Copies of this chain bind each other. A is one copy, B any other.
Amino acid sequence: MSITVALAQVNLMVGDIEGNAERVMRCAERLRGKADLAVFPELTLTGYPPEDLLLRPACDVRVNAALREIARVASGITLVLGYPVTRDGLRYNAAGVLRDGVVAAEYLKMKLPNYSVFDERRYFEPGTNAVVFEQGGVRFGVTICEDVWFDVPVQRAASAGAEVLLNLNASPFYQHKAEEREKLVGERASRFGVSVVYVNLVGGQDELVFDGGSFVLDRRGEICHRAPFFEESETLVTLDRGVPKPANVEPVLDELEQVYGALVTGTRDYVAKNGFSSVVLGLSGGIDSALTLTIAVDALGAKSVEAVSMPSRYTAQLSNDEARRQAERMGVDFQSIPIESVFQAFLDTLTDTFAGTEPDLTEENIQARSRGIILMAISNKRGRMLLTTGNKSEMSVGYATLYGDMAGGFAPLKDVPKTLVYRLAHWRNRNGEVIPQAVIDRPPSAELRADQKDADSLPDYAVLDPILARYVEEDQAVDEIVAAGFDRATVERVTRMVDRSEYKRRQAPPGVKITRRAYGRDRRYPIVNGF
């Protein structure tokens, strides 16, 4: 006796309850006759994370209406999907089993993550009871995301007789997450002797990317099926007397392919889900904007991308040439808009005000901000979202100009350290040079004064990035970092720069989380901070 389960790995829209319900119903229509059971991601109807939309009483009303609609089409196929539910004035993160026109069973998530980017205790109470339902002679347990990272929920499901666990997820990407996930779920499967159908969300939502890669493990924890990463899919797995039969196993992507896939997905979805169809960015002839351009083109297509070079009196000819070369090679709109006359107009306007002072960072910032105004003007005039091109190393130490190069709607590289920017640039060139080699080879420079180099203000990125990873992602103290072999003066200077730049990061646009700890919801630091 066999039963077929569909893993509905869908890309949903946060807050669009009716639209997400429509997606579920269309999926049910398509799968009826092919699958007995379809499993959707966590909080299917609201998308994830719905954040404070959950606090709106209208959210409940609309979810309940959508659920009734979906229940009506739940015949000939069982649908397992996620939604928020309120019982006796308390809200839960629920998974409903819809069949024969009704919600036949409802599981309430037990383990509510409240760390990193997660705020589930802000919204939900924990459930306590296992839910097991029977279909086609197989007993299915239901759990939600974080639940399978702990023993108790799985143990309760197994004790209640579950042979196969359906786990609904909204598990955001960071480096190596896919491997970590399967290992952990595999341990749970073998420990409690249950097969696991793990269905993940796919797509970008603000700073998060859900990478898909849904999978099925047997009761020994061995992989039977893996869905693709970073794309929607409806894959089928047949259970024979509760035992999953081997199906297609997509490969796990290598490290750089994973990260690049997340950057492209996050950028594409942020732009499109905010109602934009094209972007503009400043192309400086440096490596950050060069990589941002390839991400933009891979996400949206060359026709939807405009690149602007904005040379100043300090811009090397190499910068102009290589920017133009890459733009032409990639087939994007390109123009060069010199900033000299606006820069000079600011200097003239401020002559009296600044009389008797020496040029300093002020004049550098005026240039960066003049570029910000020009790019925002193009964004406003043509309805194109401005992508900002800064990387995580700069964002960490504040080596960026607020309202200047930090201006923009989205920052694809915000969580990508500079050393990883280089590795990704090499990787993107693997099938032929897209990013000019000269851009990769030149020493990094902001070109905001004569002969300026990043190395004048910052340690080498090969030294800076590991210090930043230890301080920002691993919470190490100065002494620990020094003990690991770094120069004390450098560590003290770097960590001080990180602390003092929080005010800039607070005004930065969102970007794609790809590390274990990104700036944004993931790292909540005070600005006023005497630590």
Tell me if A229 is interfacial: C-beta within 8 Å of chain B.
Answer: no
Binary CB contact string for chain A from 351 to 382 against chain B (1 if under 8 A, 0 otherwise):
00110010011100110011011101110110
CB distance B346 to A373 under 8 Å? Answer: yes
CB distance A13 to B528 under 8 Å? Answer: yes
By a CB distance below 8 angstroms, the chain B residues around A52 are 523-525
A206/B374 contact (C-beta < 8 A), A339-B349, A349-B341 known: no
CB distance B407 to A403 under 8 Å? Answer: yes
In the assembly, what is the distance between CA of A274 and CA of B52, in Å?
Answer: 30
Binary CB contact string for chain A from 46 to 65 against chain B (1 if under 8 A, 0 otherwise):
01011111011111010000
In the assembly, what is the distance between CA of A409 and CA of B53, in Å?
Answer: 28
CB distance A509 to B510 under 8 Å? Answer: no
Which stretch, A33-41, A211-219, A289-297, A500-508, touches the partner chain B? Answer: A500-508
CB distance B345 to A206 under 8 Å? Answer: no
CB distance A342 to B346 under 8 Å? Answer: yes
CB distance A365 to B349 under 8 Å? Answer: no
By a CB distance below 8 angstroms, the chain B residues around A114 are 114, 119, 121-122
Instruction: From the candidates B14, B342, B362, name the one contacting A345 in the complex (CB within 8 A).
Output: B342
A1-53 residues at the B interface, CB under 8 angstroms: 13-17, 19, 47, 49-53
CB distance A206 to B527 under 8 Å? Answer: yes
**In the complex, residue of chain B having the shortest beta-carbon distance to the beta carbon of A204:** B528
Interface size, A (range): 35 or more
CB distance A508 to B507 under 8 Å? Answer: yes
In the assembly, what is the distance between CA of A274 and CA of B341, in Å?
Answer: 35
Binary CB contact string for chain A from 314 to 347 against chain B (1 if under 8 A, 0 otherwise):
0000000000000000000001011101101110
**In the complex, residue of chain B having the shortest beta-carbon distance to the beta carbon of A369:** B373
By a CB distance below 8 angstroms, the chain B residues around A50 are 526
A378-432 residues at the B interface, CB under 8 angstroms: 378, 380-381, 402-403, 407, 409
- Least CB distance from A295 to B in Å reads 18
**In the complex, residue of chain B having the shortest beta-carbon distance to the beta carbon of A477:** B58
- Least CB distance from A296 to B in Å reads 18
**In the complex, residue of chain B having the shortest beta-carbon distance to the beta carbon of A114:** B121
Complex A-B, nearest 5 residue pairs according to Cβ-Cβ distance, in ascending order: A16-B530, A15-B531, A345-B345, A58-B477, A362-B380
- 6 residue pairs of the A-B complex, CB under 8 angstroms, read A16-B531, A17-B531, A204-B528, A335-B353, A337-B353, A338-B349
